[in-house]
Structures are given as C-alpha cells and as structure tokens.
C-alpha cells in the first residue's frame, strides 16, 4: 500500500508540509487557471503557517487574495465561485475559528451538490491548521476532526507528512466536492514552532496525486493494529519502534482522510492482528476513535483483547503546560496501552 511515487527517487528533496503544500497549490494553479486562493494573511505574508509561500509573486493579486476578517463572507463566496466552475482554495488559519462561518461550510458548501440533485458542484478546498501541545489554549488548539467528518457532503483530509500532503492537496483541488484540508501544527515545519521530524520527508518535484480515501500502512506488524491520523501517526510509530525491541510488532495505519474513510484497510489489518487501538488528539466522545472501533465491531471480528482508544478527554484545552500535556496523547501513553493490551 506504499505509494509507488514514494519509492521514486527522481528529483525529490526533503520538504516541510508547508513547502509541499505551497508547491502543490502552485502546480495546480499553473495547470488550471480556475484555481485561485483567498484567505487572511495568505498573500503578502504567505500564510501564517506558510501554506501559500511564493504564490502572490508567481500569480499576482487577482488570483492570490488577502481577505478581510470576514469569514462568512469569503467562504460563502468561495461556494458561489465554485458553483460557476472555478476552484477556490480558501484558508482559515485555525480550525477553532470555523465557528464564525460554520453555516457557509456545513449548510452551504457541503449541501450544494445534494440540494441541486448533483447539478451544481462545489469544487472548493478549505484548508486550516489544527492541534495543540504548545500552550495556545482552548481557542487555538483544537482538532475538530470528528466534527467535520460527522457532517455529510464534504471530504476531510488529514495528512501526516509532506509527501502525502502534496499529493492529497493536488487530489483535493482536482476533486469536484468541497474538501476540508486539516494540517497539524506539530507537523507543519514553521520556524516558530517545533516540528515532528518524520513529517518532513522526501517529496518529488513533479505533481502527483495521493487519492482521497486510501489509508496507508506506515509500519507493518502482526500483534496489534494502531490507527492514527496527523500527529498521532508519529506517536504510534514512535511507540511501535520502542515496542519492537520487546518483540511486540505493532501495525500502524495512517487514515490520511476521514471522509471518505478507508474502513477496509482497518478491517483487513485487525483481521490479521486481532487487536485495535485508536489514537486521536481530537475530543474522545462521538469522534474518530468511536467510529473506527464501531466499524470493527460491526464487522464482527473476534478480538484478542477489547478495543481501546487514546484520545483527548472531553474537556476544553487548557493553557498551562502540565494540564495540557496531561490531557494529550503521546508516544509513551501509546506504548503503555499497547503493552497492556498485548498482555491481555
């Protein structure tokens, strides 16, 4: 299930997710004159998280537009432009801010195709950053994966590394449906925030797609299936590395997208390992972890130990470091849980 291009050694270099995304957008803008970008601080600044670096210089202010802080306005305008066949890519820097314009997202963008009987499309991408761990408190640290994946009519993408980010972004822009593209701040590669090393990987220069709805087995193993997304993939990989020394072989699945969700990849793995742990830094209840476990339960797979989840407790995210770190999942907690489950 490893993407063929990942093994392709032609013209690739290590890129951060921010650089990979900027490159993907530039290539799609060159390919399709209908692609344009708007959002706060995306033009002159190149995006607070660096996702639109160099685009203003390359494509000019008509196609790369700084917007006022008027999210209901410009996000619903993207829906209108998409209806006429353009492909707007909109950034709203933190997912926490989506509250002010939620209607434009889940009642407008997500339902345009359905309400029109498929006659009016909504080919737009709304990209944003998610996640905490750096003490930015409860209005700047949420993931909200489950919230958006719960609402039908939009695709939801969560890359864990720069290779996937570039290919998923190309696929998202080319998709005829609204796509919410969620990038984890711990993986982004910004100068002002630490970045998990495994997120900055080799990326081919040429454009390529990573299809939406296909999970990746990022580490094969036989003893337990560990499902993660975004930052938690790296926590699971670190835990698996530690446990391998004790002879426990964890298989790590990176979901890569939540809608569509690659349930088959999860089922296939769990049928092999007989154990399931889901690691998610979004709120625990009614979210990704519950959905994955329900998928396995519904398939009636006999498990060697009860399925478990390590997720963010159902509390707002606190500012103070000791409290936030206590609440977040990490590699150590993942390893402890896997050990317990494999002893059962």
Ligand X SMILES: Cc1ncc(C[n+]2csc(CCOP(=O)(O)OP(=O)(O)O)c2C)c(N)n1
Q: Where does this chain bind ligand X (CB under 6 A)? A: 40, 69, 71, 93, 97, 100
Q: Are strands 125-130 and 87-94 parallel, antiparallel or unpaired?
A: parallel
Residue 100 CB, nearest approach to ligand X (Å): 5
Q: Are 20 and 216 in contact (CB under 8 A)?
A: no
Contact with another protein (CB under 8 A) among 7, 10, 11, 68? 68
Q: Does 197 bind another protein (CB under 8 A)?
A: no
Q: In whole angstroms, give the CA distance from residue 278 to residue 232.
A: 9
Q: Are strands 64-66 and 216-219 parallel, antiparallel or unpaired?
A: unpaired
Q: In whole angstroms, give the CA distance from residue 226 to residue 221.
A: 10
- Closest C-alpha to 189, from 6, 96, 56, 50: 50
Q: In whole angstroms, give the CA distance from residue 174 to residue 86.
A: 11
Residue 331 CB, nearest approach to another protein (Å): 16
Burial of 29 (0-12, 13-18, 19+ CB in 10 A): buried
Is residue 119 part of the annotated active site? The answer reads no
For another protein, the closer of residues 94 and 208 by Cβ is 94
Binding partner of residue 274 among ligand X, another protein, none, CB cut-off 5 to 8 Å per kind: none
Q: Does 330 bind another protein (CB under 8 A)?
A: no
Stretch that binds another protein, among 19-27, 156-164, 276-284, 308-316 (CB under 8 A): 308-316
Q: Does 136 bind another protein (CB under 8 A)?
A: yes
For another protein, the closer of residues 85 and 332 by Cβ is 332
Contact with another protein (CB under 8 A) among 3, 12, 34, 41? 41
Crossing angle for the helix pair 288-298 and 263-273, to the nearest 10 degrees: 60
Contact with another protein (CB under 8 A) among 23, 91, 96, 280? 96
The one catalytic residue in 140, 150, 184, 234 is: 140
Q: Does 332 bind another protein (CB under 8 A)?
A: no
How far out from the chain centre does Cα 212 lie? Answer: 11
Contact with another protein (CB under 8 A) among 315, 332, 336, 340? 315
| Sole residue written with tokens 């737009």 | 124
Cα atoms in the 13 Å half-sphere on the side-chain side of 255: 31
What are the residues binding another protein (CB under 8 A)?
40-41, 44-45, 48, 66-73, 96-97, 99-100, 133-140, 191-194, 313-316, 318-327
Which residues carry out catalysis?
140
């Amino acid at each position: 299930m490893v993407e063929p291009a990942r093994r392709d050694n032609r013209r690739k270099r290590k890129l951060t997710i921010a650089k990979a995304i900027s490159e993907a957008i530039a290539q799609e803008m060159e390919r399709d004159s209908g692609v344009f970008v708007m959002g706060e601080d995306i033009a002159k600044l190149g995006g607070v998280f660096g996702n639109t670096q160099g685009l203003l210089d390359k494509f000019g202010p008509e196609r790369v537009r700084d917007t006022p802080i008027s999210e209901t306005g410009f996000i619903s305008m993207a829906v209108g432009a998409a209806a006429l066949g353009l492909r707007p890519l909109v950034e709203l820097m933190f997912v926490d801010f989506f509250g002010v314009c939620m209607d434009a997202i889940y009642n407008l963008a997500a339902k345009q195709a359905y309400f029109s009987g498929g006659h009016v499309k909504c080919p737009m991408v709304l990209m944003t950053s998610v996640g905490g761990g750096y003490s930015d408190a409860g209005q700047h640290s949420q993931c909200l994966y489950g919230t958006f994946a719960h609402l039908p009519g939009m695709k939801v993408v969560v890359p864990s590394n720069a290779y996937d980010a570039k290919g998923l972004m190309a696929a998202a822009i080319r998709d005829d449906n609204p796509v919410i593209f969620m990038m984890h701040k711990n993986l982004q590669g910004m100068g002002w925030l630490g970045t998990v090393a495994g997120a900055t990987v080799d990326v081919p220069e040429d454009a390529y797609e990573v299809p939406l709805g296909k999970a990746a087995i990022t580490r094969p193993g036989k003893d337990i299936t560990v499902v993660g997304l975004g930052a938690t993939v790296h926590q699971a990989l670190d835990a698996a590395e530690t446990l391998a020394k004790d002879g426990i072989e964890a298989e790590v699945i990176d979901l890569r997208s939540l809608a569509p969700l690659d349930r088959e990849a999860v089922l296939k793995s769990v049928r092999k390992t007989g154990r399931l742990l889901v690691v998610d830094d979004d709120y625990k209840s009614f979210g990704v972890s519950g959905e994955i476990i329900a998928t396995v339960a519904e398939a009636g797979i006999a498990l060697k130990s009860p399925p478990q989840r390590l997720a963010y407790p159902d509390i707002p995210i606190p500012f103070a470091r000791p409290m936030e770190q206590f609440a977040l999942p990490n590699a150590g907690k993942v390893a402890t849980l896997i050990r317990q489950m494999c002893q059962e």
